[in-house]
Amino acid sequence: MTETPATIEETLAELAENFDLLEDWEQRIEYVIDLGKDLVPLPEADRIEANKVPGCAAQVWLATRRLDGGRIRFLADSDSAISKGNVALLLMLFSDRTPDEILGLDARAALDRLGLPQALTRQRANGLNAMVGRIRQEAMAGA
């Protein structure tokens, strides 16, 4: 019997619990960077201009795959450890979800719940918002 994947809310709750255990913003950033270290490498063929996320301080690539059942898988990478961690966190929340699941989550409230935007510089927070915008755009295209 296969294990039922966690819902987007369950994944968010688990992330929030992990973030709550961290004492300050430096530990939160270190945790995010560690998430990025576990990111599956992005195929070289996906490192194209069309997959770059504009508005990020670093180079961030976000590729999509349409799966059976309407789910969307996101693949991503960045040349910056913090941006790579941020996109890894977003993939934990949004990858392999349906467009309705993706669009049904208030991403800004979710990230605020984690305290992530407050821990980032303004430019990095803008990049995080750009990544979320791109994910939502892909979900709207698949809805």
Residue 81 covered by a domain? yes
Chain position carrying tokens 């918002």: 129
- The values of phi and psi at residue 132, to 5°, are -60, -45
What is the total count of domains within the chain?
Answer: 1
User: Residue 102: which CATH number?
Assistant: 3.90.1010.10
For 97, phi and psi rounded to 5 degrees? -110, 165
Residue range 41-75, pLDDT digits in tens: 999 999 999 999 998 889 999 999 999 889 999 99
Active-site residue flag, 56: yes
Q: Looking at the domain assignment, is residue 2 inside a domain? A: no
DSSP character string of 30-64: HHHHHHHHTSPPPPGGG-SGGGB-TT-SS-EEEEE
Q: Single out the catalytic residue among 56, 72, 90, 110.
A: 56
pTM: 0.91
Angle of helix 25-37 relative to helix 81-94, nearest 10 degrees, comes to 80
* Residues 6 or more apart whose Cβ sits within 8 Å of residue 6: 14
Question: Which residue range forms the structural domain that includes residue 76?
Answer: 8-142
Look at the block and give the residue holding tokens 């407050």.
118
Tokens 């605020």 sit on residue: 112
Instruction: Give a yes or no: residue 1 inside a domain.
Output: no
Does residue 61 sit within a domain? yes
pLDDT in tens, the chain (143 residues): 445 568 999 999 999 999 999 888 889 899 999 999 999 999 999 999 999 999 888 999 999 999 988 999 999 999 999 999 999 999 999 999 999 999 999 998 998 888 887 778 888 888 899 999 999 999 999 76
